[in-house]
Amino acid sequence: MSSDVSHPVIHELETAGPDRLFAEPLHVGRPNLGDRHKLLERFGAVLDSHWLTNDGPNVRAFEAAIARCLDVQHCIAVSNATIGLQIAIAALELSGEVIVPSFTFAATVHALSWQGITPAFCDVELDTHNIDPVAAARLIGPNTTGILGVHLWGNPCAIDALRALADEHRLALFFDAAHAFGCSFDGRMIGNFGRAEVFSFHATKFLSTGEGGVIATNDEELAQKMRRLRNFGSEGDEAIGIGINGKMSEIAAVMGLTALESKGEFIARNQNNFLVYEEVLRDIPGVNLVSNPTVEQRNQQYIVVEVDDSLAGMSRDDTIAALHRQNVIAKRYFSPGCHRLEAYRSLHQSQYNPLPHTERLCDRLLQLPTGTGVSREDIVKIGDYLQRLTARARTAA
């Protein structure tokens, strides 16, 4: 995003106080790494072992630890979640069309396209930001073979409604759970729903292996098939089918094992940060912290704010530009929606399917920094700046 001054209020505040809030950029998605000393020890042990990949002992230990954490029967570690989705799609033998929300990261939809699947773009619920089962039902046609839900911000989809819909029409239901590690639904951990759920352990995610992910399933036959697919379609030394190289490395696995040991610390910091953001943003008109009160477990990895663009002409993009100039690297998630990306625009136009909730959210949401790299003092500074920004915008209106 350009850092050009796009609103006179931004220029006015900079003139009054030219020093930036932060000397160094404060990014969304700074990695949660865990105990650095222990991590470096484990790196050394991997190098000494000379076993860097190919289903090594650390990968197997990581898979077992994640399976225990999620209380699932099978976890298949993969090089990244996009490959994980492609492996799941191939293992489910999907074809034709799969219903997917447009309000998601492009990788979700790309995984379908790479497998020769046509994405049928679905609108989302305005309150949860997740796929709308009612809208999904309207998209089911003769070529539909599956529904791919996304647990956005770690908030579960309407799982029961989607499961009923999939069962009624004999569709494969599976989930992109990239945001949802450590989150639960109806007292069970995400990872136990649909045919499979795919988690991301990218550097920006709650739990990080640098790059990586896992596929969770309680279907033994499907798990065996996905293990073959991630290893060139091989069983033993022989390729018995077409597969891909989707293996996780030992280095990534020890990063994951180390981070997993600090999972409670990460959750506590995120929860505390959320409460501070709630406090400092509460009385700022036009800046609304997105919350989903629930008794379920959440990792609180995402601080999502909706900006009311009626606020003296200060749009979401104006607000992000102002924050960027203060070295607060807020992000637009997601904008534009996948249906408006160049790769899919003509496809969506041919589907004649309006997505009003997606369009609204794409224009109004932003993410603010959180995680172990963000302190209470950082958040108070951000809140104070947004307070001054919006107060000056109201005065100027």
* Calpha distance 315→217 (Å, rounded): 42
Using CA atoms, how far apart are residues 393 and 311, in angstroms rounded to an integer?
Answer: 7
The angle, 0 to 180 degrees and rounded to 10, between the axes of the packed helices 250-261 and 36-49 is 150
Kindly report the CATH number that applies to the domain delimited by 8-30+263-330+369-396: 3.90.1150.10
Half-sphere exposure of 206 (CA within 13 A, CB side): 27
Task: Return the C-alpha torsion angle 123, 219, 71, 302, nearest 10.
Answer: -20
Q: What share of the chain is helix, strand, coil (3-state, %, to 5)?
A: 45, 15, 40
Q: Supply the pLDDT for residue 3.
A: 45
Which two structure tokens, joined as six digits, stand for 362?
């794409």
> Which positions of the chain have pLDDT values less than 70?
1-18, 293, 309-313, 396-397
Specify the domain boundaries for CATH 3.90.1150.10 within the chain: 8-30+263-330+369-396
Highest CATH level, class, for 36-261: alpha beta
State the pLDDT at residue 310. 58
Q: The pTM is what?
A: 0.94
Q: For residue 270, report the phi and psi dihedrals to the nearest 5 degrees.
A: -60, -45
pLDDT value at position 18?
A: 53
What is the structure's pLDDT at 377?
97
Give me the pLDDT at residue 333, please.
Answer: 87
